[in-house]
Chains A and B, each alone.
Chain A
Amino acid sequence: MSTATVVVTGLGVASPTGLGTGEHWAATLEGRSGIRRLTRFDPSGYPAKLAGEITGFTAEEHLPGRLIPQTDRMTRLALAAADWALADAGVRPDELASFDMGVVTASASGGFEFGQNELRKLWSQGSQYVSAYQSFAWFYAVNSGQISIRNGMKGPSGVVVSDQAGGLDAVAQARRLIRKGTRLVVSGGVDASLCPWGWVAQLAGGRLSTSEDPARAYLPFDRDACGYVPGEGGAILILEAAEAARERGAHSYGEIAGYGATFDPRPGSGRPSGLRKAVELALADAGAQPADVDVVFADAAGDLDLDRAEADALVQVFGARGVPVSCPKTMTGRLYSGAAPLDLATALLALRDGIVPATVNVKLSPEYDIDVVVDQPRHLGLRTALVLARGYGGFNSALVLRAPAPR
């Protein structure tokens, strides 16, 4: 197995905190949250009413008209984010050999709003009214497929679905492909299912916050934790072998240094959560000690039991208050497969600027012996970041990022 260094050379962000890396990072540092009352549909009849919505995205400004009727919102956002990421990396796909470029994205629920609209036609009008695009516009592979087509990328591709942990699993798979010889891989994830049908399905998970106060609805590691606010969006990352990136004079945001994944035991087994093990595996893969980690971007479930499990894992690995912890998700909500890629982008920007973003709205519960950065961003020298992501059912993934070596 090759252990070639794999770096991130481009970022494309589509988040409730902003479209594009600059807007997102500025809002994140200023603590401007994108969580508000839903506008996409009328939420008054539902117990949960808040979401992290993306505002100001007009697909027609970013994509050719023929793509509009055949795409769900999450695919339009993903295609735009992929364009931004490629531009940021200074990559023109038509200048590279097509088989040297791959695409690996994560998905959670596919193009759910597109599916909703076609299901409605099926049951209210009849099967002959269902769109010809339904056969692919809603399914989980659509973002990888559409990104590969738009950019002429014929190399190895893939799609992983592990609920919210999937974003890290996709990036780890992208690193594998590069280590096996693919020149460049577009990775990450973008999700959006803020439609009535998606809302009802998310409500069934039982963890959505029913608070109507955007500042009090999603409070990980707070005594008043009461569930999470969902959101839409995510990030697309361009990954390349460090050597190839250097040869073309590309800028590197940092290295995908380590990765580990586990699955929690069946409920009632009495065995502990696998989160700690995932962290240990990622650190070992990175050749890093706990003391090397300068900041952790937590999964931040906003659920008392899950927050407890994550705080315990962090204390076990890093010691009490052993490392600063940031949860910028409190400004976006949880973005499903888009959440971890957005955290990776945010973490790489944090490494670049030496700033840990604040976890807005949260008053840290004294029950957790962890150092959550609240109120104000913290300025620190940062070399190494750990990003955690957990998925519904028991998925645990951990990824270590390392800042580029000084030139």
Chain B
Amino acid sequence: MSARRVVITGLEVLAPGGVGAKNFWSLLSEGRTATRGITFFDPAPFRSRVAAEIDFDPYEHGLTPQEVRRMDRAAQFAVVAARGAVADSGIEFAGLDPYRTGVTIGSAVGATMGLDEEYRVVSDGGRLALVDHAYAAPHLYDHLVPSSFATEVAWAVGAEGPATVVSTGCTSGIDSVGYAAELIREGAVDIMIAGSSDAPISPITMACFDAIKATTPRHDDPAHASRPFDGTRNGFVLGEGAAVFVLEELDSARRRGAHIYAEIAGYATRSNAYHMTGLRPDGAEMAEAIRVALDEARLPGEAVDYINAHGSGTKQNDRHETAAFKRSLGAHAYRTPVSSIKSMVGHSLGAIGSIEIAASVLAMEYDVVPPTANLHTPDPECDLDYVPLDARDQLVDTVLTVGSGFGGFQSAMVLAEPERKQV
């Protein structure tokens, strides 16, 4: 077993409610919500008409006109977040071996927004089955293959080591960071630019979630539409965003005097091998992922100070997840604060896993547990401490963050202070 330990030394978040980690943390710590009626297109034909949109101007964040033309919105998010994370880390790449820096970007649905718009044009509003190549955008290939997200980030930071997009549905954001940490541990690289991005708020995405009633129809009260663990919950609110981290080996981070946010102490993913969208209520596979992640971190379940839940706000997810926490942590599950930031920033599919890692890391940084907003009505099947409405001050040394996604993927990551604050 290798002794190389992996830490987060830089981060940046683009989430609904305001671009930047500072705005993100203000929203969470104040328990405000960023869900609203959809403005990107006319939502009238849809069953679900709310989303958590970002007010994002790529030019304000340094992208050039050609970059904006070339990149889908999700790629733009990834590049802005990557640059921000590198700046936050204070790392100087000059003089470093570029082959020793790699990139992993998670994304569940890639350039969906760009593909939807382009299809509408080349098919002339769906009229042409043999779509017309003469009307295609010159960079449509970059939308076809979301690996272009990794390309753009590698170019933006000058990385020449291994680069890839990790795409495991709604656990992509955890799995991308877990994959990156493994590359540092095995010694293939010293630094990883790792995170995830998705910008799925487009008609095709709304339509497909409408079809399976996964998203909430609560469009009369958009600010309170996302209700994880609440007895009145009836589906998730689609979101968008990105979070990217600089990951480094612990000793080299210490040598350069870097600020260390947290150690990626343990990570595991398991599959339920059950259904592409359905979950069995017992949460057995997520519980197994949690147990293995804690084992890798060499921490007992009792060490977990805070659980950053997947908490999507669908009936089945919140029940499934609650069962998984009890199954893996036993009585400690009842003593541990659990919260879902999706109540405030919505569910940005492949991006949310990294955004939730950022929330976990900031909870450790500020010793504050973010709340679950909009939680008023108890559900007998969700009987843990979900930190309703208001953030809570408490020492946070160790966080468990989890994700669950279409395809059956269940992932868990344990983040810890490399040095304990409490005994």
Contact = CB atoms under 8 A, between A and B. Distances in A.
Interface of A: 1, 41-42, 45-47, 70, 98-99, 102-103, 107-110, 112, 115-116, 118-128, 130-132, 134-136, 139-142, 144-146, 148-149, 151-163, 166, 169, 173, 176, 193, 196-206, 261-266, 271, 274, 277, 281, 336, 391-395
B186 A197 contact: no
A263 B269 CA distance: 27
Contact of B268 (A120, A156, A196): A156
B48 to A, nearest CB: 10
Contact of B145 (A118, A163, A394): A163
Identify which of B103, B115, B120, B141 gathers the most chain A CB atoms within 10 Å of its CB.
Answer: B141
B158 interface: yes
A134 B208 contact: yes
B335 to A, nearest CB: 28
A45 to B, nearest CB: 6
Given A132-B211, A154-B273, A197-B122, A204 B167 contact: no
Identify which of A132, A145, A148, A169 gathers the most chain B CB atoms within 10 Å of its CB.
Answer: A145
B141 A263 contact: no
B116 interface: yes
A159 B167 contact: yes
A265 B210 contact: no
A368 B187 CA distance: 35
Contact of B186 (A132, A162, A176, A205): A176
A122 B271 contact: no
B182 interface: yes
Contact of A200 (B120, B133, B151, B268): B133
B69 interface: no
Contacts of B137: 204
Interface residues of B, number: 91
Q: Which 4 A-B pairs have the closest CB atoms?
A: A145-B407, A124-B126, A123-B126, A393-B151
B276 A136 contact: yes
A96 B228 CA distance: 37
B275 A394 contact: no
A201 B143 contact: yes
B270 to A, nearest CB: 6
Contact of A47 (B133, B155, B165, B172): B133
Interface stretch (B82-90, B199-207, B258-266, B367-375): B199-207
Given A120-B129, A122-B203, A166-B147, A262 B273 contact: no
Contacts of B270: 99, 154-157
A262 B166 contact: no
Given A130-B210, A197-B119, A262-B99, 19 more contacts: A1-B2, A128-B211, A132-B212, A135-B208, A139-B407, A140-B165, A141-B409, A145-B276, A162-B164, A163-B145, A193-B144, A199-B133, A200-B140, A203-B136, A204-B137, A204-B140, A205-B144, A263-B160, A393-B151
B194 interface: no
Nearest to B186: A1
A166 B164 contact: yes
A266 B154 CA distance: 8
B355 interface: no
B131 A274 contact: no
Nearest to A125: B126
Identify which of A116, A151, A162 gathers the most chain B CB atoms within 10 Å of its CB.
Answer: A162
B212 A46 contact: no
B133 A157 contact: no
A142 B133 contact: no
B169 interface: yes
Nearest to B119: A119
Contacts of B139: 204
A266 B72 CA distance: 19
Nearest to B296: A180
Nearest to B409: A157
B115 A115 contact: yes
A281 to B, nearest CB: 8
B398 interface: no
Identify which of A141, A154, A160, A391 gathers the most chain B CB atoms within 10 Å of its CB.
Answer: A141
A1 B187 CA distance: 9
A144 B274 contact: no
28 contacts: A103-B271, A109-B145, A115-B204, A119-B115, A119-B119, A119-B123, A120-B126, A120-B129, A135-B277, A136-B276, A139-B109, A139-B407, A140-B165, A140-B167, A149-B273, A156-B269, A158-B175, A158-B179, A161-B147, A161-B166, A169-B162, A261-B164, A262-B160, A265-B160, A281-B99, A392-B147, A394-B163, A395-B164
A266 B103 CA distance: 14
Given A115-B115, A130-B204, A160 B407 contact: no
Given A136-B406, A156-B269, A162-B163, A149 B211 contact: no
B407 A141 contact: yes
A123 B145 contact: no
B229 to A, nearest CB: 23
Contacts of A265: 98, 158, 160
B304 interface: no
Nearest to B162: A261
Interface in B157-206: 158-169, 172, 175, 179, 182, 185-188, 203-204, 206
Contacts of A134: 204, 207-208, 211
Given A127-B46, A135-B406, A393-B147, A144 B126 contact: no
Given A119-B123, A125-B126, A152 B273 contact: yes
B408 A145 contact: yes
Contacts of B136: 200-201, 203-204
A149 B285 CA distance: 13
B148 interface: yes
B352 to A, nearest CB: 15
A246 B268 CA distance: 27
B145 A116 contact: no
B108 interface: yes
Contact of B210 (A115, A127, A394): A127
B301 to A, nearest CB: 19
Interface string B27-56: 000000000000000000110000000000
